[in-house]
């Protein structure tokens, strides 16, 4: 089996499995005051300190959650509500049109149910938000903007956004910025303090950690309302009994992601280029979506090293997916959260890709278990698979 869907989830690291298994043998609620409770609290706080150190944050800025979706919801909804409560004129949310649905859907919920107005930030042909685009959107009425949300790196096409530049634009008008860094962590350098963001989402299962645990990094001076109420854990921002074992395992995964990032990025870039070039040799009309990886964003890379998002003309992406799967190759047509939904990618549409072309997209995403053998399996299969998918598409169009 060639697993090339790391952007959906990653195989759990052996060290994470070992730490999780050991932590599960220990008893104690981190909110309890007895010996077992204090020991559990110590494990949580040591994990918090480790995560903060590796992500350029203060320990008090690390708020544990159940993962990326909850962190995105907490950031966007919580900041919006807090800002609007302080100033009822703050009703506008600015977000990129290529955000993950964990952001898109909460923005649309606030628009429908809580009187928010939404400004969707346009992206260029690579799927990138430019600082002048954000500045122009804010300039329409700086006094009504509650929050800005722009993802650090796109989960479908891998394009990296200039988060520090965008944060500077937002801060020039005293507007907080949230960034979803779920895909960025582990593939490119991620430093919360240096990014300038006020809130940043990360999760465990994209970096070899367990599912069901993540964090929202939140500046101490950020105003936010909780969306979950109860015991007042996590600075009163996110109530709920802490999953101590998952948090310990998450910290192990973060340590690995950060310490291995540079070497892993080099390895993934080589594999990605071998994959793209090999496919182009066999399918000359294939189209690479997103940044080609040759432009620069500030001082860093412009595309995630493990992402290869390709469009095959005259093919249906779902057909390609199933044909590849039958040959033991696992990839995706886009976000796993929208798999099975018969509609073109909103990311590609926002980038200006025609709907008919967007239907022929496949995302190969590589990670810590990827090898050149995986690439060779794809290259051995892709020619016959694309040919068969095109024949099927042609036959279907004739019937119509």
Q: Tokens 């004129």, residue?
A: 89
Tell me how far apart the alpha carbons of residues 281 and 325 are, in angstroms, rounded to a whole number.
22
Residues forming beta bridges with residue 117, ordered by sequence position: 92
**Which one of the listed residues 17, 131, 135, 337 is annotated catalytic?**
337
Q: What six digits make up the tokens of 283? A: 């399918």
Q: What residues contact residue 335 under an 8 Å CB cut-off, 6+ apart?
A: 8, 100, 101, 155, 156, 345
What is d(CA 50, CA 220) in angstroms, rounded to the nearest whole number? 18
Question: Cα–Cα distance between 336 and 205 in angstroms, integer?
Answer: 13
Note the helical H segments in the chain.
Answer: 14-24, 35-55, 68-86, 101-113, 131-139, 163-171, 192-195, 244-259, 261-282, 317-326, 346-350, 355-358, 372-399
- Provide the β-strand partners of residue 259: none
Count of alpha carbons within 13 angstroms of residue 336, beta-carbon side: 15
Q: What's the rounded Cα separation, in Å, for the pair 134 and 96? A: 9
Q: Is 331 a catalytic residue?
A: no
According to DSSP, the residues that pair with 200 across neighbouring strands are: 179, 217
Q: In Å, what is the CA distance from 322 to each residue of 55, 243, 287, 356? A: 38, 37, 20, 19
Exposure string (b/e) for 156-177, b if CB count within 10 Å is 16 or more? bbbbbbbbbbbbebbeeeebbb
Task: Give the Cα separation of 7 and 262 in Å (integer).
Answer: 18
- Exposed (0-12), middle (13-18) or buried (19+): which is 328, by Cβ within 10 Å? exposed
Q: Are 80 and 93 in contact (CB under 8 A)?
A: yes
d(CA 311, CA 308) in angstroms, rounded, equals: 10
Catalytic residues: 337
């Amino acid at each position: 089996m060639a697993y090339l869907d790391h952007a959906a989830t990653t195989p759990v690291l052996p060290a994470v499995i070992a730490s999780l298994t050991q932590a599960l043998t220990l008893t104690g609620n981190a909110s309890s005051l007895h010996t077992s409770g204090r020991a559990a609290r110590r494990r949580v706080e040591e994990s918090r300190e480790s995560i903060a150190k590796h992500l350029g944050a203060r320990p008090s800025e690390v708020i544990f959650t159940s993962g990326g979706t909850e962190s995105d919801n907490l950031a966007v909804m919580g900041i919006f509500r807090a800002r609007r409560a302080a100033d009822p004129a703050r009703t506008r949310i600015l977000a990129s049109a290529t955000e993950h649905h964990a952001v898109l859907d909460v923005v649309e919920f606030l628009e429908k149910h809580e009187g928010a107005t939404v400004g969707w930030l346009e992206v260029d042909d690579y799927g990138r938000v430019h600082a002048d685009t954000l500045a122009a959107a804010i300039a329409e009425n700086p006094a009504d903007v509650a929050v800005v949300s722009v993802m650090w790196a796109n989960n479908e096409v891998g394009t990296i956004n200039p988060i520090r530049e965008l944060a500077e634009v937002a801060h020039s008008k005293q507007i907080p910025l949230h960034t979803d860094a779920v895909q960025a962590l582990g593939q490119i350098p991620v430093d919360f303090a240096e990014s300038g963001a006020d809130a940043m989402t990360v999760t465990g299962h994209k970096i070899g950690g367990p599912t069901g645990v993540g964090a929202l990094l939140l500046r101490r001076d950020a105003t936010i309302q909780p969306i979950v109420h109860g015991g007042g854990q996590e600075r009163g921002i996110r109530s709920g009994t802490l999953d101590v074992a998952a948090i310990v395992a998450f910290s192990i995964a973060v340590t690995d992601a950060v310490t291995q990032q540079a070497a892993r990025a080099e390895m993934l870039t080589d594999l990605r280029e071998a994959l793209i070039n090999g496919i182009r040799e066999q399918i000359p009309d294939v189209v690479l979506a997103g940044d080609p990886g040759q432009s620069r964003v500030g001082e860093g890379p412009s595309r995630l090293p493990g992402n290869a998002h390709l469009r095959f003309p005259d093919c249906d992406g779902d057909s390609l997916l199933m044909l590849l799967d039958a040959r033991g190759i696992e990839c995706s047509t886009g976000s796993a959260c929208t798999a099975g939904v018969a509609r073109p990618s909103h990311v590609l549409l926002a980038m200006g890709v025609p709907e008919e072309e967007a239907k022929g997209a496949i995302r190969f995403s590589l990670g810590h278990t990827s090898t050149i053998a995986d690439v060779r399996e794809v290259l051995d299969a892709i020619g016959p698979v694309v040919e068969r998918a095109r024949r099927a598409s042609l036959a279907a169009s004739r019937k119509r």
